Amino acid sequence: MVEDVTHIHREYGDDRLPPGQRKTDRFPVLSKSGTPSVDPDDAGLDVYGAVDEPLDYSLSEFKALPSVTQRQDFHCVTGWSKFDCEFTGVVFDELVERAGVHDDADHVLFHAHDGYTTNLPLSECRHEGVLLAYGFDGDPLPADHGGPLRVVTPHKYAYKGAKWVSGVEFLTDKELGYWEKRGYSDTANPWNEERYS
Ligand SMILES: Nc1nc2c(c(=O)[nH]1)N[C@H]1C(S)=C(S)[C@@H](COP(=O)(O)O)O[C@H]1N2
Ligand SMILES: [Mo]
C-alpha cells in the first residue's frame, strides 16, 4: 500500500509547489563530490549518541524492520521540485523508539559515506514523511540517489536528507552539517524560501 503524504505542504502553504521552485519530471542528481562506493559489509546504519541502546544494523537487518512506502514530493534548494516520488523505507520514529533516545536529546546529526553531514532538530526528524529509504519507485534506491540507504525530508529542502547515510547521531547540543556550515539555511523550509542564512 502506498501512503500519500503529498499533502504535507498544507501545514506551510496552500501551494504544493513552493515559491521560486520549478517542477521537473526528471530526477536530477546532486552531490557535493560524486557517488561514493559503499562496501556492502559497511552498508548498514549506526544509531548512537544520547541513547540508551546504540544500534548497529546491517543493511539486511535494517530492511527487516517495519517499513512503509510513501508518495512524496522532493524540493531541491537550487530550484527544482519533483512530485510523486515513491520511497520505501523505515520511518524515523522507529529508530527513536528502538534506541531509547534520551529526553534531553533535541538534535540529530546525520553522517554519510561521502563525508557529508546534515542536522535537524529531533522534532523535525519525527515529522511525517521523514524516512530512511532504500527503495525508489518499486526498485532498490539507485546509487546516484543515495543507495543503498538515504534520508528523505519532504517538508524541507532536500539537502536535509543525507544520501548514503551511515549514521544517525542524537545530540543534546546542536551541531551544524556540511551545507549548514557553508551558508545554507539551518531551518530549510521551502514554503518560506529559507534557502540561505
Ligand atoms: N551524502 C550526501 N547527501 C546529500 C548530498 C550530498 O552531497 N551528499 N546532497 C544533498 C542535496 S544538496 C540534494 S538536493 C539531495 C539530492 O538528492 P538526489 O541526488 O537524489 O536528487 O541530496 C542531498 N543529500
Ligand atoms: Mo540541493
Peptide bond into 148 cis (omega under 30): yes
Q: What is the length of the chain?
A: 197
| Ligand 2: centre distance to CA 196 (Å) | 12
**90 φ, ψ to 5°?**
-110, 135
**pLDDT band of 124, cuts 50, 70, 90:** very high
pLDDT band at 88 (very low <50, low <70, confident <90, very high): very high
Task: Report which ligand 1 atom has the smallest distance to the Cα of 77.
Answer: 14
pTM: 0.98
Q: Give the tens place of pLDDT for each residue, 169-184.
A: 999 999 999 999 999 9
Any ligand 1 atom below 6 A from CB of 147 = no
Q: If you measure from the C-alpha of residue 108 to the centroid of ligand 1, how many angstroms do you get, rounded to a whole number? A: 17
Residue nearest to ligand 1 atom 20, measured at CA? 145
Phi, psi of 4 (to 5 degrees): -90, 115
Look over the chain and give the mean of its residue pLDDT values, rounded to a whole number.
Answer: 98
Nearest bound ligand to the CA of residue 163: 1
pLDDT band for 77, please (50, 70, 90 cuts).
Answer: very high
Buried b (16+ CB within 10 A) or exposed e, 142-158: eeebbbbbbbbbbbbbb
Residue with the smallest CA separation from ligand 1 atom 5 is 31
Per-position DSSP letters for 22-82, written without gaps between them: EE-SS-----SS-PPP--GGG-SEEEEESBSS-EEE-HHHHHTS--EEEEEEEE-TTSEEE
Cα(81) to centroid of ligand 1, in Å? Answer: 13
| Ligand 1 contact via 31 beta carbon (within 6 Å) | yes
